[in-house]
Structure 1
């Protein structure tokens, strides 16, 4: 007669050593960290600070672009300036906006390139103003 035990009997009789428990705990901790950082969305403090700084910069540039559009449209010669802006090539528009002073912000000294380009893109994307009808009904 063979003396083979079933898997459930082997499991019931198993007693782990301290070394096996220690290395199992280390393996579980490492596996948890790998899963957390790759799929769980965990980040380190440094990468979180970098992401927050980039988000702040992007928000400031978007706000400056929105203010720029309002300043541009509030100008007395906005229609003529918009026609000039639309005639320019894409890479010249940001310099035109920055040179006109519409995107100037006190906190963004020298960092207005992205905001100026965004402002120019928003202005060019707006529909052309409709000419007022002078015909009497």
Structure 2
């Protein structure tokens, strides 16, 4: 049999070639994993967690703020006043009204008043108050 007929069956790579192949495959796996595979470092995961916690707190406080605003006695007048304000004055109007204040949270929650104002601006009209459901039990 001629050398060209044996092909890959007789090929025996050296230990050096095996070593560099392993290093290259490992590097390629890491590059693909971190770019397209969704892998992340612990530092990046910590940052993502902090952002998610901050956003969740802002959403919670904004929801409470909208509820407090809508259930206030003069909600219709307040909504008209809020809609008359410019976009950079709305969060101050919400803060001054005290609707974003929650007992037990002393510090200001980032983005909560902006989210509250945005949700209120989307309202076409105030929702009707519903009576609580009373069970016969």
Q: State the TM-score, normalized to the length of structure 1.
A: 0.84
Query: Could you say which residue in structure 1 is the equivalent of 2:57?
Result: 60
Relative to structure 1, is the Cα distance of residues 42 and 59 closer, same or farther in structure 2, using a 3 angstrom cutoff?
same
**Quick check: which one's helix share is greater?**
1
Structure 1 portions without partners, runs of 5+: 131-137
Rg larger for: 1
Q: Which runs of 4+ in 1 moved over 6 A?
A: none
- Aligned pairs, number: 125
TM-score (norm 2): 0.84
Once the two structures are TM-superposed, the CA of residue 108 in structure 1 deviates from its matched residue by 5.9
Greater length-normalized contact order (CA 8 Å, ≥ 6 residues apart)? 2
Q: In structure 2, what is the equivalent of residue 133 of structure 1?
A: none
Match of 1:48 in 2: 45
Counterpart in 2 of 1:92?
89
Q: Alpha-carbon deviation of 1:125?
A: 1.0
**Distance in structure 2 (CA, Å) of the matches to 1:83 and 1:60:** 27
Structure 2 spans left out of the alignment, 5+ residues: 128-137
